[in-house]
Structure 1
Amino acid sequence: MTHATFYMIDETHLAADNDYLLHFACHQAAMSYRQGQKVYILAESKAQAEHIDEYLWQQEPDNFVPHNLIGEGPRGGSPVEIGWPELRHSGRRGILINLSQHAPNFAVTFSQVIDFVPCDEKLKQLARERYKLYRQAGIQLQTATAPDTP
C-alpha cells in the first residue's frame, strides 16, 4: 500500500530560503538514498528538473547523491532519477517526490509519496486537489510540518 506525506510549507520557510522547496526535496531524496531507497523526483517542468540536477551536482563530495535526468546515466537510471510530466520514469522505485502541481497517475506504483502544500493560496488549492486524488486512489495520507532547515 502506498503512503503519502504532505509537508506544509509556510512563509517563514520561504523568507529564510527562496528555494526552500527545492532544497527540502533534494534533502529528502538524499536521506532516502542513504537509507538504500531508489527515488524519483517529479519536477514541474524540464527547466525545474535541470535546476534540481544542477543543485545536486553542486553538493559537497561527502553529500553527493548519484542522480540523473531521465534518459541520461546508466540503463535503469541511478538511485535518484529526475523527470518531468511529459516523460515516464525508468522503473520501479520506492519513493516519489512530487514537485508537480498535479497528482501523477502512477503515484500508486510507489510505496511512499512525498508532496508539498505551499503557502500560496492558488498552489494550496492545487495541493488539496492532489490530496483528494491520492485518497481516491487508495493512498494512505498524512500531513506534517516541514522542518525549519532541511
Structure 2
Amino acid sequence: MQQAQFHILADTTSLADARLACLLATQAYRAGQTVFILARDESQAHWLDETLWQQDPDSFVPHALQEEAGAQQAPVEIGHQPPRRPRNLLINLQPEAPAFAGRFPQVIDFVPAEESLKQLARERYKQYRAAGFTLEMVQPG
C-alpha cells in the first residue's frame, strides 16, 4: 500500500521544507532506500545538491543532480522534472502533487506555516487520498 507522509512545518523561513528534505533524504539513505527529491525549480535543485555536499563527512549521502551523468545510479537523485527510474521514496517540494507520484511506494510532502501555501498542501493531501495513498501527518519536534 502506498503511503504519503505530510510534515507540518513550524518554521516560517522559505528554506524550512528544503532543509527538512535533506535531513529526511539522509535518513532514508541510511535506511537503505533510494530517494528522488523533486525540487520546485532548477535553482532549488542546485541548492539541495550543495546542501547535501556540505554535510559532515560522517553524514555524506551519495547523490546527484538529475542532469548529471550517473544520476540514475546514485541512491539520492535531485531534479525538477519527472524521474527516469523507479525509487523507493519521493520527497516533493513542488506546490502541486506530481502526476507521477503513484509510481512511488512512499511520498513525503510538507505543510508550510504560511496560510496560502498551507492551502496548496491541503489540495495535495486530497490528491494523494484520491489516488489511494494512506496518509499520515507528522508534527514538528
Q: 1:58 and 1:6, CA in 2 relative to 1: closer, same or farther beyond 3 A? A: same
Q: Give the structure 2 partner of residue 124 of structure 1.
A: 118
- Quick check: 2:95–2:120 contact (8 Å CA) kept in 1? yes
Structure 2 portions without partners, runs of 5+: none
Give, in angstroms, the shift of residue 18 of structure 1: 6.1
Is 1:36 paired with 2:37?
Answer: no
Match of 1:109 among 87, 100, 103: 103
Report sequence identity in percent. Answer: 48
How do 1:34-113 residues align onto structure 2 when only pairs under 5 Å count? 34-74=30-70, 76-84=72-80, 87-113=81-107
The aligned counterpart of 2:4 is: 4
TM, length-normalised to structure 2:
0.94
Contact 2:91 2:109 (8 Å CA) reproduced? yes
Equivalent residue of 1:143, what SS?
strand
Q: Which amino acid in structure 2 is aligned with residue 4 of structure 1?
A: A
TM-score by length of 1: 0.88
Counterparts of 1:124 and 1:35, CA distance in 2: 29
The residue number in structure 1 matching 2:23 is: 27
Aligned-pair CA distance for 1:146: 2.4
Q: Which moved more, 1:74-83 or 1:89-98?
A: 74-83
Moved over 3 A (4+): none
- The 3-state SS of whatever aligns with 1:37 is coil
Residue 89 of structure 1 aligns with an amino acid whose one-letter code is P
Unpaired segments ≥5 residues, structure 1: none
